[in-house]
Amino acid sequence: MRKSGRFLIVFVVLMAACAESTTFTDGSGANDGDTVELVDSSPSDGALGQESVSDGMATDGTVFDGTVSDGAATPCSTPGATQPCATALSGVCANGTMTCTQGFWGACVADVQPGDQAELCGNSLDDDCDGAFDAQDSDCQPCAPNSTHACTSIHPGICADGTETCTLQEGGAKWGWGSCVPTILPGAQVEVLGDPSCTNNMDDDCDGKTDAADTDCQCTASGQCPVGQVCLNTSCVAATYVWLSGAWGSCSEACAGGTQSRSVTCQRNDGVTVSDSNCSGTKPAGSQSCNIQLCANGQSCTGHGDCSSGYCKNGICATPVYSWISGSWSACSVSCGGGSQSRTVTCQRDDGTTVSDSNCSGTKPATSQSCNTESCPCDVAAGVWYQDFGTCTGTTLKIWSNVGWGQATCISQCQAQYPTTNCVSMHFVGPSDCACYTGEICKPWDGTLRFQYVYEIP
């Protein structure tokens, strides 16, 4: 009995010494100098008090589980009591709890076990207990740090292709892909009307519109287009030329052939009229004949040939009326003894135009007739002085002649009707003679000797 009592006293003394200087690590396996002090909290009566543990790892790498460095269990006085301790795990799993069981502190159990929670990037804690936290943890590295890859930017056209870089995000809490940076920045290139940029099927200026759909490639006037092109529906297209014929105008005449005209121009496909030399082929006619049919009666005309029937009367086609028109009789060819006289007889249209006799109907009036058919007084030869000394009435005709004495012959205008053989007598007319016959004038003798011829009318 005496021997065992001495052993208990020695054990208590040793424990008191250990309580003053026992040193542990932080559970990571490396001796970082952190100390765990076993605090003697026993009452003044000498009972064993409750010890405290800060990191749960001894300097030799063992998890502090209530035993001292020599392997002896650490006694505790209150069953079920707990105290914090340090586990051998990393991060939030390093914090643990020991429980007083059967007078000794049990093993240090981690409050958060590995796998209980995922790494929460940005809270400066190793939430998944893998030894790394935030951006250092692979769980916070969805992309390889500082790596790049191709991407599609928010910009259209050639600015759509871009590059993303894996950079620190959220103030360095984690890695992540940065924004997609266009390889070609908007504004770096433009589209210019007439330039290949407007015909390459690409959105060169990254405005979401390609070639002709882009207002930069749209024209408002042909002068904006390259040579040989015109502006058509806001696009520059190849210039083409065609003959453009207008509508025929009204005919100059209603009948008998008139003319009508129209405009014929060379037009470019943008609607501009240009020189005829730009158009190929024969230029269409600008005028033509029209209303070539003859005019009907009642229609206007300029000549007789315009009318289909009838003739042109006072500028109007009309049915002609023909009639015989007789002129005045001419003077009789003789004053007596039967002569002839003539007149003109023509077939005339009602406009006064002389036409062929065939147009007039009925018998054509006579153009000549007999005249002065009464017997003539026998006129003596030219130069004979006489004054109506004879008449051709009755059975005898007395005439005078101054043909000379002894040469008296029976001469007169009537020779054809009354041959000289019918001269039956002659009578000398002297100064005292004055022959007067009924209805005749007695001419005083002028001193010329005459013979009176008695001419018998057969």
pLDDT, tens only, 440-458: 333 444 444 444 444 444 4
Task: Judge whether residue 13 has pLDDT over 80.
Answer: no
Cβ–Cβ under 8 Å, residues 109 and 88: no
Average pLDDT of the residues of the chain: 73
Task: Judge whether residue 177 has pLDDT over 70.
Answer: yes
Averaged pLDDT, 23-38: 34
Phi, psi of 353 (to 5 degrees): -85, 130
Higher-confidence position of 25 and 263: 263
pLDDT-derived band of residue 327, with 50, 70 and 90 as boundaries?
very high
pLDDT-derived band of residue 10, with 50, 70 and 90 as boundaries?
very low
pLDDT-derived band of residue 216, with 50, 70 and 90 as boundaries?
confident
DSSP track, 385-432: --SS---S-TTEEEEEE-S-TT------GGGGTS-GGGEEEEEEE-TT
What is the pLDDT at residue 374? 80
Give me 80's structure tokens. Answer: 């079920």
What is the pLDDT at residue 234? 86
What is the pLDDT at residue 421? 44
**Distances from the Cα of 333 to the Cα of 22, 327, 336, 393, angstroms:** 193, 17, 9, 22
Phi/psi region, residue 132 (left: phi>0; alpha: psi -120 to 50; beta: rest), is beta
What is the pLDDT at residue 3? 37
CA dist., res. 110 & res. 65, Å (int): 12
